[in-house]
Chains A and B, each alone.
Chain A
Amino acid sequence: MDWKSAFEEIEKIKQEAQVEINQAGDLSQQETWRVKYLGRKGRLAVLTSLLANSPAEIRPKLGQAVNELKNYLQALLKKVSKEKKVSRKGKNLSLPGKPAISGLLHPLTLTTRRMVEIFVRMGFGVYTGPDIETDFNNFEALNMPVDHPARDMWDTFYLNQEGTLLLRTHTSPVQIRVMKELTPPFRVVAVGRCFRRDLLDASHSPVFHQLEGLMVGKRISFAHLKGILIYFCQELFGKQTRVNFTPSYFPFTEPSAEVSISCVICRGQGCPTCSRTGWLEILGCGMVHPQVFRKVGYNPDEFSGLAFGIGIERTAMLLHGITDIRFFLQNDLRFLRLFT
């Protein structure tokens, strides 16, 4: 190229530079553009070197044009890099990263897994059972024949007029299913959804979840029940947790017990969560009632067993300090995102 076509070249550079900078999407493309036009061996530099060899009468005019081009190109780059703000952020390392999106498990799943994992470590298998149960499995086989007053402990949703089909009120019917399917010795936990005809409030939900445990063998004792459940409570709520067993009543266990732990909020000092008692009831348990064994054809003189049931919502509420059970089925993302 000689100085004669320089003016044409300037116009061409202007046009091409304009087009190309608009196509330069990211920083590295902009850098390529800069090198091409404004770089040490770029097109502007070529023109500048031409200027030195141009005739004196042309030089001022050409010089002015080259200078204009320089300003024009620099303005283009400045404008574009201002527009692509994201790219500039990369230069200030103190600016925040881009918001990351990840999937989340529901807090009920997280809590269930924590609980299940502790029992799996003790060699328990994990079972499930249907939500729709028979009166036999939910009540009768659990030592609550028709008209038994203990049935009032579980307000029940029925699916037929005869009352033979219902939504299980606890996961205990899985005990019956497991005992019919397996041969002792065995140990299993079952997780699942339960239903009670309770009005929805901050601590009651007609739909909730339970974890049930059952271990049957030749010489399973109440001392073992204590061993397993104290280990569980301390694994879940911390080694310093105190665990207390008091007598209770369930038709399907004998002896029956209720387990309380020292309040996780106030460490047993007394607070509103534990009604100032320092203790929180968290689960019901006991030794399998001989009548239950007879119903599934086991000989109560040969086998003994321990069983327990824990509310998963309640456990999650204590673990995370959740104050209202209704959050679980409401699925407010602001709630769900707390538990990653």
Chain B
Amino acid sequence: MRYSYSLVKECLKEEISPDELLRWLETLGLNPAVNVKTDKEMLFEIEVPANRGDLLSILGLARAIIPFASLTLCLPSAEVDPTLSETFPVDIENTEDCLYYSCRVIRGVRVGPSSREIREKLEKIGFRCSLNVVDLSNLVMAETGQPLHVFDLNRLNKRIIVRRAWKNETLTTLDGRERELDEESLVIADDVKAVALAGIMGGANSEVTEETTDLLLESALFAPRRIRRSSKRTGLITEASLRFEKGIAYETVSLGLNRLTWLILNLAGGQAGPVCQAGIQPKSNREIYLSRKKLRCLLGTNIPPKFPERLFLNLGCQVRVEKEAYRVEVPGYRQDLQEEADLIEEVARYWSYEKIPVSFPETTIVPTPSSPEYLLVERVKDILVRGGWTEVVGSSLVPIEWLRFYEQESLRLVNPLSQSASLLRGSLIPGLLEIVRFNRARGVDSLRLFEVGTIYLGQPVSERLSLGMVIFGEDAYFVLKGYLELFLLESGVEKVAWKKTDQFLASEAGMITCDFEGKPVARQFIPGEEITNFFDLDNQMVSVAEIFLEPLKSNLFRPRPFVPPPLFPASRRDFSLLFPIDVDWSQVEKIIYQLFLPVEKISVFDVYQGEKIPADRISISFSVVFRHQERTLTTEEINQFSSAIIEAMDKHFGGRLRQ
């Protein structure tokens, strides 16, 4: 709703200027936004906090600014002397849904369009006009915050009952839509039918028309929770439902009813009956204890004792000042003030946050640990960036078509915004390939990307920390493998040993995996065509890896042991051997190490396949570094070692020296 300066002024005895009004609203943090400003008028909106239903009214707004200049409130005229004795029977099925219900008969009303004055008032604050009695009920809602409803009395059958809707019961609401209801919704019904969706919208079957002369006015106190559920269920949010959801005070119910009666009698004529009611009249005033010490400690400043006292009086509270405390009786319409902290906030707001001093806590130093997950993730990022990799951050919500790229049961959103973001990622790989596709399409021809992030599993529902790496470019697989091994070594995996497996998403070449402390920790593969075609990539140019970080957590921060640099020189021998084309290199290394020679390092420096050698052979050139810890190795020894290696290669793999 919109607020108008002139309507606010009507509620106050003293003059205030529009600028003052704006400044005060800003101080209160209501972020006023001015829509229209002329000499005499200003229309504006405010941000109403979820716990301040009282501010959804002109009266509430006026009450909120009173303390700034000790203003005086003028309540709108609402004195009614019933001239009819006619009553109308009312019943409430359950006072948990509707605490209190009141209504009143008015007969002999002239129903028609509103006067220009009323129409202007309403249009200014954003209401659409219809018939005078309906307009007046809207005006009273704007003034007091009490939602009201006007029935055509002669279309009601015998009585009013406030009850839950029946299963499959339908009601055509005032907007002309037929609503299917269920037991979650509360309705106002007469003896035979529902006539309104309680607290939300009236029914067409009891609507006031130009022919109407006799009315039943409704002013009630519905339970916020029930109206909220009913509103969610029917998908119908109205000015009335918003107010009931946030809570209405009992006093407002009777003020609203009397004010509407007064306006109708004065502007549309008729004779009013007495108030008919049902339910309980909840005690709405609360007493809250506010200790001065607590006020001082929580705000970190000394506020003059008179200030809170005057403030609470100005806010319509009763205040009893004790030696070191205030006992504040809060009026019902301030439902947000529930306990001491709420009163402290109120003092701070009116005192102004600006005036609260700035200081640092004087505190005992108690070391607070950081979570290992955070340290792990940041460490991992540093290791990879140092190696020339670029960090990317992908979304957790991915397209439903990616479902087939996740090996394990995935998690889906119950209420996604769209199919393209309805699944939780079960792996980082598809997201990384999508980023490669995106950048490839923009002319990038070589990429090394990684992401450290959470992946989500459906069975059981869980999440885990994962590192994904993707490389695009020449010799992708081997470049990635080199970095991956380096990463694992830096992460505390003492020896990286690969196992070959056939795996999900991998191309025919399969996948290699590495275990750590008996658990799989990393895997790398060339993605198969199903997934590379999906992301429009050439799979000869791509390789991906996935690393599960959890097992690395303990080792990443373990201090590395010192090993003194070797005292004696190393000797290197190069070998060029022809192996069967599918030789398992990890086996080759294993066999060499099993010769128990003083081998320090084995490294491959050239691989050849092609015309110059038989088609079923692969030429692998590698060097072996020998070093003895206690002496310099002699040439004869090295020659012996080399022969032993050549012999073993021949024996185990049929590996022959390349001529």
Which chain A residues have a beta carbon within 8 Å of chain B's beta carbons? 101-106, 108-109, 113, 123-128, 130-132, 147-150, 152-153, 157-161, 165, 167, 182, 185-188, 191, 193, 195, 197, 199, 206-207, 215, 217, 219-224, 226-228, 230-231, 244-249, 251, 254-258, 287, 289-290, 300-301, 304, 328-334, 336
Contacts and interface: CB of A to CB of B under 8 A. Distances in A.
B42 to A, nearest CB: 18
A254 B414 contact: no
Interface stretch (B48-56, B257-265, B509-517, B579-587): B48-56
B345 A255 contact: yes
Interface stretch (B136-144, B148-156, B187-195, B439-447): B439-447
A329 B394 contact: yes
Contacts of A149: 50-51, 224, 228, 245-246
Contacts of B348: 222, 247, 255
Contacts of A219: 297, 361
B353 A257 contact: yes
A65 B297 CA distance: 105
Nearest to A160: B414
A331 B438 contact: yes
B298 interface: yes
User: Which residue of B298, B369, B416, B435 has the most chain A CB atoms within 10 A of its CB atom?
Assistant: B298
Contact of A105 (B224, B342, B381, B394): B381
Contacts of B357: 223, 226
Given A224-B300, A246-B26, A249-B49, A290 B340 contact: yes
Contact of A254 (B31, B344, B395, B442): B344
Nearest to A125: B368
B365 A333 contact: no
A103 B386 contact: yes
Interface string B79-118: 0000000000000000000000000000000000000000
Contacts of A222: 298-301, 348, 353, 356
Given A159-B413, A222-B301, A246-B29, 14 more contacts: A106-B392, A159-B411, A165-B461, A182-B368, A185-B364, A191-B374, A197-B417, A223-B301, A247-B28, A249-B49, A255-B299, A255-B353, A257-B353, A329-B394
A287 B298 contact: yes
A177 to B, nearest CB: 10
Interface string B50-64: 111000000000000
A120 B177 CA distance: 58
A155 B363 CA distance: 38
A257 B390 CA distance: 38
B388 A103 contact: yes
A145 to B, nearest CB: 9
B385 A103 contact: yes
Interface in B343-397: 344-345, 348-349, 353-354, 356-361, 363-371, 373-375, 378, 381, 384-397
Given A254-B344, A289-B341, A227 B359 contact: yes
A137 B363 CA distance: 28
Contact of B435 (A257, A287, A331): A331
Interface in B402-431: 411-417, 421
Interchain residue pairs A-B with the least CB separation, the first 5: A223-B300, A221-B300, A247-B29, A249-B49, A125-B368
12 contacts: A106-B391, A128-B373, A149-B51, A158-B413, A207-B395, A219-B297, A227-B358, A227-B361, A247-B348, A254-B342, A290-B341, A329-B393
B394 A331 contact: yes
User: Which residue of A101, A125, A247, A333 has the most chain B CB atoms within 10 A of its CB atom?
Assistant: A247
B301 to A, nearest CB: 6
Contact of B421 (A206, A220, A290): A206
A153 B50 contact: yes
Interface string B593-608: 0000000000000000
B463 A130 contact: yes
B341 A186 contact: no
Contacts of B391: 103-106, 109, 336
Contact of A104 (B390, B411, B456): B390
A330 B361 contact: no
A109 B404 CA distance: 30
User: Which residue of A108, A224, A256 has the most chain B CB atoms within 10 A of its CB atom?
Assistant: A224
Interface string B9-32: 000000000000000001111010
Contacts of A220: 361
Nearest to A152: B50
B642 interface: no
B388 A102 contact: yes
Contact of A185 (B29, B366, B381, B392): B366
B229 interface: yes
Contacts of B375: 126
B416 A157 contact: yes
A48 B604 CA distance: 48
Contacts of B381: 105, 109
B647 interface: no
Nearest to B452: A109
B96 to A, nearest CB: 13
Given A206-B397, A207-B397, A255-B348, A221 B298 contact: yes
Nearest to A158: B414
Contacts of A125: 367-371
B353 A246 contact: yes
A226 B386 CA distance: 38
B351 to A, nearest CB: 10
Nearest to A245: B353
Contacts of A161: 414
A256 B298 CA distance: 12
B406 to A, nearest CB: 16
B225 interface: yes
Contact of A336 (B364, B387, B390): B390
A304 B356 contact: no
A131 B344 CA distance: 34
B530 interface: no
A303 to B, nearest CB: 11
B639 to A, nearest CB: 29
Nearest to A225: B300
A63 B300 CA distance: 104
Nearest to A219: B297
B507 interface: no
B454 interface: yes
Given A223-B299, A332-B442, A197 B393 contact: no
A300 to B, nearest CB: 8
A186 B365 CA distance: 9
A14 B418 CA distance: 75
A215 B253 CA distance: 43
A333 B439 contact: yes
Contacts of A106: 391-393
